[in-house]
């Protein structure tokens, strides 16, 4: 398994090399805005760290789950910019939604759905983008496309005709929750550690979430 400290050091080294390359290009007279590009990269990485931290904190206080792992390292295939993995099968609340040891979702009737569990799971999915938007003031749903697809799927258990209104309602709830100073401090703490080391494993996440 790759050490998250090694990955974090590698990312910082890559940014240092990019800055060195920019200095050389500027010295050669190339018209590039290297400093601006690097600042933008740092801003995107910070947003990504807060996005994943939001998932971690909201999933913890809404479902009582500690993530298995959270990272801001992009996937090798470029499909994700970061991700947080969850032990969904550990939550009794989610049992009605889960089949195959928690790895696949099965269709179920609205009558069998536990509405509160569905709302809590939707909150987990929308939390990343809600936190990132509070941080930057800018909505970037393209960075949370898979989360929004899952949230909409769950919202249909509550309101088949208008799942978007359910998502909007729960997003407002999440925004109110994360605005609490103590909760935001935990989000900041996790984001800062992700920025420093790129990946957090479950034991360290449990320790950080203990203040949530």
Q: What is the pLDDT of residues 108-133, one digit of tens each?
A: 444 444 788 889 999 999 999 999 99
Average pLDDT, the chain: 78
Pick the most confident of 28-37, 83-92, 142-151, 169-178.
169-178
d(CA 48, CA 147): 14
- Per-residue pLDDT for 71 more than 80? yes
C-alpha pair distances (Å), 127 with each of 2, 23, 100, 131: 27, 39, 26, 6
Give ∠ CA 152-153-154 in degrees, rounded to 5.
Answer: 90
* Residue 194 in tokens: 């992700």
Strand partners, 99: 104
The answer to whether the beta carbons of residues 193 and 200 sit under 8 Å apart is yes
Q: What pLDDT does residue 84 have? A: 95
Q: What pLDDT does residue 35 have? A: 54
Q: Which residues of 18-57 are buried (b: 16+ CB within 10 A; e: fewer)?
A: eeeebeeeeeeeeeeebeeeeeeeeeebbbbbbbbbbbbb
Q: Lowest-confidence range among 80-84, 133-137, 169-173, 186-190?
A: 80-84
**Residue whose structure tokens are 């536990």:** 114
Q: What pLDDT does residue 17 have? A: 44
d(CA 155, CA 121): 10
Q: What pLDDT does residue 167 have? A: 95
d(CA 121, CA 102): 14
pTM, two decimals, is: 0.76
């Amino acid at each position: 398994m790759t050490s998250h400290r090694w990955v974090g050091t590698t990312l910082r080294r890559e940014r240092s090399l990019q800055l060195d390359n920019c200095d050389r290009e500027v010295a050669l007279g190339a018209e590039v805005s290297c400093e601006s590009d690097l600042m933008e990269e740092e801003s995107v990485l910070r947003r990504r760290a807060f996005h994943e931290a939001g998932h971690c904190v909201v999933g913890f206080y809404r479902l009582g789950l500690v993530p298995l792992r959270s990272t801001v390292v992009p996937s090798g295939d470029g499909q994700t910019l970061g991700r947080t993995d969850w032990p969904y099968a550990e939550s009794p609340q989610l049992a009605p939604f889960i089949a195959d040891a928690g790895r696949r979702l099965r269709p179920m009737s609205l009558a069998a759905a536990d509405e509160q569990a569905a709302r809590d799971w939707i909150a987990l999915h929308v939390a990343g983008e809600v936190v990132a938007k509070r941080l930057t003031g800018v909505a970037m749903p393209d960075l949370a496309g898979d989360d929004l697809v899952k949230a909409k799927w769950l919202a249909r258990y509550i309101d088949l005709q208008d799942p978007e209104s359910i998502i909007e309602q729960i997003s407002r709830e999440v925004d109110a929750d994360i605005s609490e100073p103590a909760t935001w401090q935990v989000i900041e703490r996790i984001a800062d550690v992700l920025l420093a080391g790129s990946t957090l494993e479950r034991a360290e996440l449990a320790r950080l979430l203990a203040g949530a």
